Structure formats: C-alpha cells, structure tokens
Structure 1
Amino acid sequence: MADWTYQRTLEHIKALAGDPDLPPDHRIFDEAEMVLPVYFASNKGRHEDLEILMRTIAANLTDSRRADHAAAVNLLIKLFDGWTWQQVCDFGTQSIPYKDGLADGDAMVPFNRLMIALLSKATQSPSDAEHAASMHETMQALVRLWLCTNDMGVASECAELLLNLLKVDIGAPVGGGGLGLVWKRIFSDRDVYNVFFSSTSQFVADGRSKAQKTIAQSRLLDWLPHVATLNWGAVANVHHADIENAYGSNGGLLSYVSTKMVDVKDDLLMHRCLIDFYSNLLRAQPPEDVCSGTQYSSMALQYLTEHNLHTRTIAIYLQLPEAQTDAFETPFLYGSAANYVATYASVYPDHFIGSEMRLLIMKRLHTTLNRRPAYWSQQDSPKHDLHVLASLPRMSLLPNRDGNGPFSGTPVSYLPCRATNADVLNTLATIFKGPPPNRVRPGSSNHLDGAFRKRNQEEAAAARALYFHYLASNPGFWENVVSHADTIAILDCALAAINLIHSVITANWSILRPSLDLPQMNFATPEVGCISILSPPAMQHIMPYLIRPPRTFANLVGGRGDTESAAYKVALAKYDALNALSTCLQAEVEKSPEDGFDGILATIRKRLATGPFSREGEVGGSIGTLES
C-alpha cells in the first residue's frame, strides 16, 4: 500500500506542476501524510525515493502560478520529521530560500511554517544553533516575522523557535554548552536588534496599523521574561546605545519595553498587558540573598523598584494617587495590579514582610473584605482581593506575630463559611493547606536553603494556627462546609467545599518552638491535618459525609445529563478526598500504631472499595425512573 501511495502522490505532484489550474487532491495528500513518513522512517533503504519525492515537492513550491501550496507544504513538513540539521543542510542549504520563506503575508503562511520547521532542527545542539545564527538575513527575517505576522500560530512557533535557539546556545557564562553566537546575533547584531524597536514602536511609519503594532508589543511582552530567566544581562544591558536612544530608552531592551514602548495614557489594554509583564518578570528571577542578609530580592524586583514601576503598580491596587490613573482606568487595571501584588507577596515573602507596602495592603484587604454577610452569596465575589489574600505569607495573616491577638485583626476573619461562595472556600483551602512540603530552590546556597526551610516551617505553623483561630471564631464551620459540599445544585460551591476538606486532610502543618499561641478552645488541636478531621468538631460532620454514598439524581425522570454529570463530579471529588484521608491516616498509623485508628481506617477502605459512585440506596429510584 505504501508503494502505491508513494507512486500516486509523486504522479499527482508532477501533474500539479504541469497544470497550474489543476486543483490539489486533498485525499491523496492526507493519505500520504499518514502513510509515507512512517513508511520511510522504517525503511531507510528507500531514502533515495524519499529525496526524489521531497525535491519534486520543493521544486513545485517555487511555481508562482499556483496560489495554494498548503497541502504540499504540510506533506513536506511531515516528511522532514526526524531529520537533523545536518541532513537539512545536505538537502540544500543554498537552495532553501529561508529569507524569502520567512516573509510576512497571508499567502506566505504555509511557507513560513515550512521554514520554521526546518530551522527548528537547529535547536538540537549548540553547533547547529551556531550554524543557524550565522545566517544573518534569516535571523533578521525570523524576528521580523514573529513580530509582524497576522497569523497567531506562526507567531507562536517563531517565538518558541527563537527561545529554543537561545536555550541551546545559552553560552558558557550562564552554564550552557554553546558559544553564545545566537545571543550575539540577536542582541549584538544591529540589524536584528533594531527589529525589536522598529516593529513595536508606534512612532515608526512602516505601513502597519496601530493594532498591528499593539499585537507586536504584546508578543514582545510575553517573550521577554522567558529570555530574562535565561540571561538577565542580555535584556537589561545596553547593546546599541544609538538605537535605544532613538526610541527614547536610556537602557537596554528591557528599559524600552517596560517604560517606553507602551503609551499607557493612550492604550488602556496595553497598560494592562504591561502590568502582567511586570508580574511575569518577577517570576522570571527567583529571590536572592542581597546585602541586608534577610531581605530576599532579585534583579527583576530591584529593577522594577528602581524605576518606580513596583510602587506605581501596587498603588493601582491600593487606589492611591501615585497610580496616576483615573476613575475609569482603575477598575480595568485592578485585576492585573492585584495579580502583581499576589505574585510579589508569594515569590518574595521576606521582602514583602519587611516592606512599607505590607501595612497598606493589609489595610486595603480589611476594607475590601469587610462586607455584609448577604453580599458574599448574592453579589460578585471580590476575587482579585481574595487572590491577594491567598498569596500573602501566612505569618502576616496572623492576628500578630505571636498569634495571640484578636482574630478580628486579620482579614481572614471576614471570610464567611455559611453564606459564602466558591472563591471564599477555595481561598480558605489555600490558606489552611500550608506551603508545599520540602520546597527548596535548586542551585541555591546552603544559607538560602536554610532560610527557605525556616520560612516553610513558619508558614506551616501559621497555616495550623490560622485554621484553629478560624475554627474557634466559627464553631459551625464544618457543618456549613458539609452543607455546601452536599448541595450539588450549586456545583462550583460544592466542589470548592470538598476541596477545602481535601486541603485540610493533606495540610502541611508544623509547630514552632516556641509555638504560636492558639485561641482558647474546648477541643483538641492536633498537629496533623488528617487527625484534626478525625477530631471534634470536624469528625461528627466530615466522617459521616465522606463515608455515606454520594447523592444522585437517578431517581428523577430524565435524570441523566447535566445534573447527573454534576453529581458525578462531586462524587469523584468526594472519593478523592476520602482516598487522601486513607493515605494520610495510614502514614499516621505506621508512625503511631497505638493511637487506635485501625478501625476508622478499615471503615474508610471498605467505603473506598465500592468506588466513587456506590449504588447503595438507588434501587427504588432506578425502578421509579424505569416505570416513568
């Protein structure tokens, strides 16, 4: 069959070359795409036949009389699968028109994809990447195509290709195996470097509309943090001062992108994208130990702080005059600014706790979360503020550093558990769950590792303290959570309630020495989350809920469909929570066999053996459905 497919495809391509008006037979090309790549990959002796077919296709692509080459290009891309860069070069470095194939235009999209597919072969080794970097006009055309094309798929492939070339050729100074020739081509070559500026500046008249320039700006904003992760100096340092100064920048590419490229007064959408860029930039650089010894910062945070971008962005969230935004702009930018605050607080917790912004942010949360009980269940949730709250260091959420102040002193106290919503329940789940266990940054110093371990232990202890503070302040907490989990009609709230149960079961808790003070309570305060679930007041509500069969709507006429799907999602989440309880409890039994949890564990395993959707109690309902 493969031989017949090969012959038929070759004959059809020759027929297309002889008659430009003959339409391509897509069935032939589709069959060839499925059969021939696999066939030639497993029959290396037929490589000569493969090259004949590929060269015939390539020759046909140069026929300007034919408008549609997409089918042939797709087949050629498939046939190049598994090739190395050296094989591509042997196929015809001189005859492959990389520069022309990377030209912008709707009709050029198939050729763009082919050239990108071929150049991607150079990402397999540093030497291949260096060879690709030596093609000056090709690299310039690739950068221009990425920023200027109207095809989102082509732009995404270009961005990925450029990033992969930089990764493989990252250079000796930052730990890679290459010589940095790709980096030199992109940042040291004046012609290539200038494309970043000319393609994104609104002040360069090149025939492209403002909307097209805006798209180019957003692509550069999305790509640059990834490059900053690989080599901060490449994006921050000055490379060609005359080019950078011509576009109003007194620094490198980062300075232009973060302060000059976007007109924040004229383009509100791009202002929002710019704030998201700041957040991504914070994540690009992990915290480092700087001179203070206790304040962990990074090059990214220092840069944003020095250029007043850090303060101005937080001011948008705090709605301070320093934000320099009007009443119309603030609601549109608020979510992105809140995300920046959340990123800053979660990635740089020590810096956040030691900053002047901490008290202002806490004050803002007290204002935005202090609402009437009916508000939470009947109106839109303040999800951006809840995101900030869930991202803050838990030690900063305690009533005070020792945990012995009034619980009303923390914004967590405003979160209701009765008249509530899914966002609130998920926020509580995040806070009570604690930090990820054993979080250590790879490649960091022993001093930093010790600091991170201490921070994790503090966060774990604070999560436990906040849980018991909240439980003491809300005695009906678990009764309300089970009520929400059992209300399948409100699916998002039910799933959030089960997520809260699951988070406490698997919580990463710890106890500091000296320990954080807990409120006066008439029940036990276990050190482990799963044990707290098996202790009053949680046990009388959680265990019966997890053990009993899930609710089902099979006893209703027409019970299948969306409602039954919701019931299954809840049942599956409930089953996962019970399974997590079994796993955690088994670990506790192995550590302390004398605690007497064997009977509970046996009961849990018996329920787990029936599966997520136990059929107990459904016989009458099923018969009722059949009779109807």
Structure 2
Amino acid sequence: MSRIAVKMDTDTIPVTGVQELDKHLDELLADPTLLPTAKLFDDVELQLTDANIPPLIPTLLPKITEILKQYQQDPSILCSLAIKLLGPLNFTQIMSLASEESIIQALRSPAPSANILAMTVLEKAARSPSDAAILAMMNNVVTNFLAQWLSAPQVGVGEKGSKVLGDLLDVDCDTRPPDGLSVNGMEIAVRKPPGQGLVWRRIFQDRDIYDLILSHCTDGRLSSQQQSLAQGRLLRVLPRLAALNFRAVTWTDFTDLNQRYANFNGNGGLLHFAALHMIDKEDMLVHLNLIDFFEALLSIQRVTPFSTYKMETLSKLVKDATTQDDTLKKAILTLPERTIPEEAEDLTRFIHEVINSQ
C-alpha cells in the first residue's frame, strides 16, 4: 500500500491507501455507473483526524465534489468521506472549494446522504455571525435548504435540517437573551454576542420564503404523510425561535398569504399559522405534535424576558387554540405536573397568568 506522510509537529503520521483511493476516484469520475469500492474509502476515512486532513483536501475533495454532480449510484460512501474531510474547515473555506450550485444540487438530491452533506456545510455557517450573514446573502441556497427540510421523507434529513435552522437563527439573532436560556435543564440559547439578524430577515421578511413555508405545510403540494412531517418539523422548531425573537415569529406583513393558505386575516406570523390554522385536529398524530408544541412554547416563554406584547399574544393564542380543544387545554393546565419540581411552581404561576389575562 502507498503511504502519504502528513506532518504533525514532531511526528509523521502515515495515512495509508490515499493513492489507491485517488486512483479509484478518477475511475468514478470517468464512469459514474461504477460502484464504489467501499474498503478503499473506509480504510482512509478511519485514519483521518483534524490534524492530518488538511493536506488531503486538495487531492480528494475536488474530485469527490465533481463525482457527486454526476453520480448514478448511492453516494453514501462518498458523502461520508466528504463530511469527514470538511471537519476542520470553516464555512468560507468550504465555499471557496464548492459552488452554491453544487450545494443546491446536493440539497435537491433524492439521496439523503447528499442532503445531509449539504446541510453539514450550511451548519458551518452557524459557528459565527459573520458566516451566517454570508449565508443569508445566498438566497437560492437558503430557499432550497428550507424546501428540502420540509419535504424530505427521511426523518434523519428533517432532524438535521431542524438543528441547522435553529443553530443558524441562534447565532444570527440580534435580539438574543444576553444570559442565554435553559428549560428543564436543557439549554435553549447559549450566552453569546448578538448576531446581525440577516438570516432572520431572509426567512421572515422574504415573501417567497414565507410563501414556501406556508404552501409546503398546507396546500397539498406534498403527500398527506409528508405534509404531516413538514407540519411537525415546523411545530418543533418554532418554540426555540420564539425564545430568540418573539416578535419575528408572531408578526408578518404578508397578510394575503395568510388568507390564501390558511384562510385567516391579520398580521399573525408563523407562530399563529402553525398554532391555529395549519393542522387538521382530527389527525391524532399531528394533534399530539400541536400539544407538544404548546407545552414547549409555554415552558420556554416562562423564562424569557417579560413584555406586555408577549403576554397579550400568548394569552390570545392559548384562548383561540383551546376554545374548542379540551384535550389541549387539559394538557396545558397539567403541564407543571410533567415538569421538574424546581420549575413546576413558576410554570404553574406563568400558565395561570397567561390564561387569566384573557
């Protein structure tokens, strides 16, 4: 086997099999119908560390990127190695090696491994406000990311997309809680400097993206099963986003889209759409998602800074949601019983404040 030596301080750590893998990548480039030789990929990938990856990137990553553009077989092995190679790189370094078009192609791929590879690249932008701001300018990338997050049938792709979206909006938030937030021992927002708010504006103030989200969750463009998955993904991410910027998720200027997709008037934003107008409550699974959503929303909002706007909005939201939904109302009233003891009393008080201010 060949050995390419990678310098590490005083040690030289050999990575075996790189030349053989490089030759195999040339073969896959020449014939996209070939099956990959898994052992060649595995042997190299298992040896990789953040320290010995950088010298291999110029050799391996451009070829993998080109293969993925035309590959006709399952790309899981290729994507796995690509993710490992991207490990030590930041977002701007990756985007100097990969085009926006290649990210979009991976997002649109029917292969979940390609979707997750692309989302792993976008996740890098959540490491700093400046990188998030760069991503916010890539309108087509953001649009395709949100579309695939909502429409992918694979649970793993949906979960990855939810995490990436939440982390991006977290680091980009310009109104973030200065001391962070934790609920039931789980960290919702970490303590860090505010971001620039550009990703927030891209998602919540872009008419096309607001249209995309509402249409994927309501108008039948997806199968009924996939629409339910899309609704569940939106419901799960919104409580975290509401903790970061309550105003952004409860207000929109696109009232005509509210009317078109959900048949309601007014400036209520994605939170109102999801909580009151999105789901069929006869669907038991989706209704359970709605109950989980309200429980998470109220638990988190208990520890966010007080505002009259917040309390009035929550009060009306709960009132409208529970008027003809006794199951939801009972779940909200008994929520403190399912909360850790140290927080149950405060949560009871907060819920009664919300309900009694109606």
> TM-score, normalising length from structure 1?
0.47
Q: Aligned residue for 1:189?
A: 206
Q: Which amino acid aligns with 2:242?
A: A
Q: Which residue of 2 aligns with 1:598?
A: none
1:174-231 per-position Cα deviation (integer Å, ceiling 9, x unaligned): 6543221000001011111222201111xx132x211111111111110000000101
Identity %: 28
**d(CA) in 1 for partners of 2:145 and 2:321?**
36
Distance in 2 between residues matched to 1:289 and 1:185, nearest whole Å: 25
Residue 33 of structure 2 corresponds to residue 27 of structure 1: no
Asked whether 1:248 is paired with 2:253, we answer no
Amino acid at match of 1:40: N
- Identify the match of residue 120 of structure 1 among 116, 123, 127: 123
Q: Structure 1 residue aligned with 2:316, among 306, 329, 354? A: 306
Q: What is the 5 A alignment of 1:512-531?
A: none
Q: Which runs of 5+ in 1 are unaligned?
A: 291-296, 313-321, 358-628
Q: 1:280 aligns with which of 282, 288, 296?
A: 296
How many pairs align? Answer: 323
Match runs of 1:148-297 below 5 Å: 148-171=151-174, 176-201=193-218, 204-206=219-221, 208-246=222-260, 247-249=262-264, 250=266, 251-264=268-281, 266-286=282-302
Which residue does the alignment assign to 2:97?
91
Q: Distance in 2 between matches of 1:233 and 1:271?
A: 25
Distance 1:302 1:340, change over 3 A: farther
Partners of 2:103 and 2:158 in 1: CA distance: 16
- Pick closer, same or farther for the CA change 1:355–1:117 going to 2, 3 Å: closer
TM superposition shift of 1:89? 2.2
The answer to whether the Cα contact below 8 Å between 1:287 and 1:348 also exists between their aligned partners in 2 is no
1:111 equivalent to 2:114? Answer yes
Q: Shift in Å at residue 56 of structure 1?
A: 1.5
Q: Residues 61 and 69 of structure 1 are in contact (CA less than 8 Å); yes or no, is this contact kept in structure 2?
A: yes
Post-superposition Cα deviations, 1:39-90, rounded to whole Å, max 9, x if no partner, equal: 624xx5xx3x5312111121111224x2222111111110111101121122
Is the radius of gyration larger for structure 1 or structure 2?
A: 1
Cα 1:278/1:298, change in 2 over 3 Å: farther
The CA deviation string for residues 439-466 of structure 1, in whole angstroms up to 9 with x for no partner, is: xxxxxxxxxxxxxxxxxxxxxxxxxxxx
Q: Deviations over 1:268-311 (max 9, x none)?
A: 32222212211111012125797xxxxxx976554342245388
The CA deviation at 1:92 is 3.6
Cα distance change, pair 174–181 in 1 and its aligned pair in 2 (3 A)? farther
Matched residue, 2:189: none
Helix, strand or coil at the partner of 1:102 = helix
User: 1:88 is aligned with what amino acid?
Assistant: I
Written as runs of structure 1 = structure 2, the 5 A alignment for 1:56-75 is 56-64=63-71, 66-75=72-81
Q: Shift of the alpha carbon at 1:13?
A: 1.5
Please name the residue that 1:511 is paired with. none
- Counterpart-to-counterpart distance in 2, 1:173 and 1:39: 34
Matches within 5 A, 1:11-26: 11-26=23-38
Give 1:335 shift: 7.9
Q: Which amino acid aligns with 2:24?
A: H
Matched with 1:10 is 22
In 2, are the aligned partners of 1:186 and 1:192 still within 8 Å (CA)?
A: yes
- TM-fit CA distance, 1:20: 3.9
Q: Distance in 2 between matches of 1:54 and 1:80?
A: 9
TM-score by length of 2: 0.80
Deviation at 1:36, TM superposition (A): 3.5
